[in-house]
Structure 1
Amino acid sequence: MAGGRPCLLFGVACPALCIPSTPPVVVTNWRSLRYVAPYLFTYRVNVKERWLGTTLTDVFTKEFYGTREFWANQMKHGRLLVNGASIAADYVLQPADTILNTVHFHEAPVSATDVPRVIDEQPDWVAVYKPAGIPTHVSGQFRYHSLTAWLSRLLSEHHQRTAPALYTLYRLDRVTSGVVVFAKNVELARRWHQHASGGNRSVPRHRKVYLARLQGRFREALTCRVPLRLDRGEQGYARSFPDFQSGKASITLFKPLGYDTRTDTSLVECVPVTGRTHQIRAHAAFLGHPVANDALYGGTLAADEYTTVVADAIAGMLGTGESRSSAEPTLMQLFPDLQVADPLCHHCPYAAPVRWREDPLYRQLGIWLHALSYRYDDDDNAPTARFSWHAQTEWPSWAQNCALETDLA
């Protein structure tokens, strides 16, 4: 798969070589959320240039979650190795060092009811529905619950054999739902990326259509041509900002479909002509109409249906005097027959990872932005096979349930 070496555990591309230590696939549902039993997992990472001359303890304390004492304890118990051997806490990293970091991996929970499904499969490509709440690729606290890993399992079950290689063409943000298309051979992936990078063709090959519920009354169709600059930011949250000096050219077409008086939101069709990170979200916010429940870009509406699932689940556990942490399900509650708690793990005894329990943005499973359809037209008179598709999903419930007024004046 493009973008990384195959992961030995999930059969999909990963940014670093990963080594499974124990089988991970024990799944349970709790109050409309889907949990995976934690499992030991080893990352193998080559030392980065910026780490040279720094102690391993300093590097991990600065760049990863955990205190100095936590990482020192990991070294003491053989969970953090250099070149396959135990080292002292004051060991200074050298060129060509390889770090093995074994973690008790806690997957972030996802919706138990809104799950990925195959929309259409052809010899050269497969179109899949991605629900809000899971990332396209393996990242952060999502491995088994990433779309690529989930799709690999779906195809293996369907074909009763090892899933075919899948090549990522593009991705959707974790909080965005909708159609994602994967190539099943290198030829299509190469041609798609060549076409996506531009060329002299006057008619666009790609047309992606999104639905969004934006804050306020969006009165008329318009084209937003505001250049965007990506800022990686802190705590893992990237954001795109308007930048008329050094930003990249970005174009989005907006067309209002109706207005919901009760929530003061507009249902809007959005067509990104370019494909910048968070482009629709950033352009909508620039226009003064952010996605209504997108807190990262200024949306202020109450949580959507997915986040409500989380809130309801927590509220259902809360009693007088209980804290949010005590409301989270423990491993003993979810997996009473398994010995999965780890005394060295800072996530235990709870099932969800610390960041999911403490960070509302990380816990939000979805926003009102949905990739409705994607049309790709490959009409070159080339000796290769013709690759074209039109994949479409149903309207999401938050779009179907709007009490829309079509008079936008």
Structure 2
Amino acid sequence: MLNPKRMGEWLQINIPTEWEGKTVDEIFRHIWEAPKKTTHQFRMENKVLLDGSRVNWNMPLAAGSKLLLHLFEEEELRVRPNAQEIDILFEDDHVLIINKPPFMNTHPNDRDTDTLMNAAVFYLQAQGESRNIHQIHRLDRDTSGAILFAKHALAGSILDRMLEQRGIKRTYIAAVHGFFSQKKGIINKPIGRDRHHATRRRVSPSGQAAITHYQLVKEDKNRQISYVKCWLETGRTHQIRVHLSHLGHPIVGDTLYGGQPTINRQALHAARLEFIHPFTMESIICHAPFTDLKEIFQPIDVFSI
């Protein structure tokens, strides 16, 4: 495990024994797998120092030497800060994990600046950090739960790659209509747009590859509801909602995909988020408590997901 230390606008990393003999170029390209554009920027702008001096990117590093990365400079904000309470599940100098409430978009568009990203930028500004955060993944407006942001560009680029390579596991809990004949399975069905509806998706042979794993958690015989946990290998729009509906088990409240309107939104919650922290190498596991739909999710212990 690494123990990086923030020093003003710089991050100090004491080179561990397992990095001895590697070069800074190898750390960026092979350990962090940072994009070429990001690596080039750090090289050209002298954003990496070794023991206080400009580093030779191709010189083997010695264990115990001090690598400095310029990560925390102030930035001109691209998103308007908006004061709202946010429920923070985990935070350090590099990442911010928030328990997103329902009925809130993740990121702004031309019409909507009342979003989770606007609230997160305000939160950082209130802490004295003028920073453009990076959204790593998204949740539908009516879906609640854990969502990951990066607090600087290098963390953002590394986490983007980790998400693409399935290094970030997101586990959801859904309440669906009916009972499953199989307690667990894999739904491997491509998803495309529904040409008859502007926002709806559907299983389509010409769509994009989409893979959802599911496992039964609990059944409510009286209400004819099953609780399933789902995790994704791909991140298509409405993926879990489309796949469960395709199986004949639409999510409760998800009227777009056949669910009954017994509650005011789809009963889908991002319950657990886990990944290996790219700068500390710690295993980060976050559970997101339910903030609404107590009448639906009351039987579920989110910390057991």
User: Is the CA contact (8 Å cut-off) linking 1:267 and 1:399 kept in structure 2?
Assistant: no
Q: 1:136 to 1:233 in 2, by over 3 A?
A: farther
What are the within-5 Å matches in structure 2 for residues 206-355 of structure 1?
A: 206-219=168-181, 220-231=183-194, 237-244=198-205, 246-302=206-262, 304=263, 307=264
Q: 1:118 to 1:124 in 2, by over 3 A?
A: same
Return the letter of the residue paired with 1:221: K
Distance in 2 between the 1:146 and 1:370 partners? 18
Q: Deviations over 1:291-310 (max 9, x none)?
A: 011011111141x2xx3xxx
Deviation at 1:278, TM superposition (A): 0.7
Distance in 2 between the 1:387 and 1:403 partners? 28
What are the within-5 Å matches in structure 2 for residues 5-404 of structure 1?
A: 6-7=77-78, 10-11=80-81, 116-139=86-109, 141-143=111-113, 145-157=114-126, 159=127, 161-198=128-165, 204-219=166-181, 220-231=183-194, 237-244=198-205, 246-302=206-262, 304=263, 307=264, 366-377=265-276, 386=281, 389-395=284-290, 397-402=294-299
Distance in 1 between the 2:272 and 2:100 partners? 12
Q: Flag the structure with larger Rg.
A: 1
Return the letter of the residue paired with 1:371: A
Deviation at 1:231, TM superposition (A): 4.3
Q: 1:387 to 1:137 in 2, by over 3 A?
A: farther
- 1:82 alignment partner in structure 2: none
- 1:344 alignment partner in structure 2: none
Structure 1: 4+ residue segments shifted above 4 A: 5-8, 231-234, 384-388
Structure 2: stretches of 5+ with no match in the other structure: 1-75
Q: 1:385 to 1:258 in 2, by over 3 A?
A: closer
- 1:15 alignment partner in structure 2: none
Return the letter of the residue paired with 2:236: R
Distance in 1 between the 2:300 and 2:162 partners? 40
Deviation at 1:388, TM superposition (A): 5.5
Distance in 1 between the 2:271 and 2:287 partners? 6
Deviation at 1:191, TM superposition (A): 1.5
Distance in 2 between the 1:119 and 1:232 partners? 39
Return the letter of the residue paired with 2:152: N
Q: Deviations over 1:338-373 (max 9, x none)?
A: xxxxxxxxxxxxxxxxxxxxxxxxxxxx32000011
Percent identity reads 25
Deviation at 1:249, TM superposition (A): 1.4
User: Is the CA contact (8 Å cut-off) linking 1:230 and 1:277 kept in structure 2?
Assistant: no
Deviation at 1:391, TM superposition (A): 2.1
Please report the TM-score for the alignment, with normalisation by the length of structure 1.
Answer: 0.50
SS at 2:140's partner residue?
coil
Q: 1:162 to 1:207 in 2, by over 3 A?
A: closer
Q: Deviations over 1:377-409 (max 9, x none)?
A: 367xxxx764753222124524542499xxxxx
Distance in 1 between the 2:130 and 2:251 partners? 36
Structure 1: stretches of 5+ with no match in the other structure: 13-24, 28-114, 199-203, 308-365, 405-409
Q: Give the paired residue count.
A: 223
Q: Deviations over 1:176-221 (max 9, x none)?
A: 00001100111111122223333xxxxx412110000001113421
